[in-house]
Amino acid sequence: MRTFAAKEGWPAVRAGWADRLPEADLAALDEAVAFAVRHHGEQTRPAGEPYLEHLLEATRVLVEALGVTDVDVLRAAVLHDVVEDTPCSLDEVRDRFGERVATLVGWVTKPEGGTRAAYLASLRDAPDDALLVKLADRLSNVQRLDTHPRPAKRRAYYEETVRDILPLAARHPWFRDWFGSWRAEFRGLAEDASDDR
């Protein structure tokens, strides 16, 4: 199962894409990364890594595994959590990055006050580009799910991914295959008897 890391940070990731993306698109991504860093600030992931690593991992999936070169899709991947997890509004994203990026970010943002189940169900109707961003986001979140510090959260997230995300991944052969391998490798999480709820 292929995994994606971004511990080296944006400058190294950017340098690795110099032969894949035009300089103008890399500069557009520079702006999105700076915006995400400014808004996410000192936020970290559950295992303590800087939040930017997650955003870059998701974007690496799109570029390096799927060959995505559409800069709006890539900027949406960098910005996919900025509305859900920070005080940034979708209007701010729209004003800075345009309607298409904001629409993609909107699709992958859980609506305030809505249920998680309703949000995940709504993704069945998501346009293809938004679904790619969501699948790359989830891949980054689950590729090292066994490092999450709370066993109950690991189990619940595994079960949710199998129930709600794998059917979405079926629309894309690469994601279908990756999540199929992931499911087999991490199936022990569903049986984890530890309970820290």
Catalytic residues: 84-85
Burial code (b: 16+ CB inside 10 Å, e: under 16) for 158-168 equals beebbebbbeb
Which pair of structure tokens corresponds to residue 40? 């996410």
**How far apart, in whole angstroms, are the C-alpha atoms of residue 72 and residue 50?**
24
The amino acid at 151: P
Three-state DSSP class for residue 20: coil
Q: What is the CA 67 to chain-centroid distance, rounded?
A: 16
89, two tokens: 């509004």
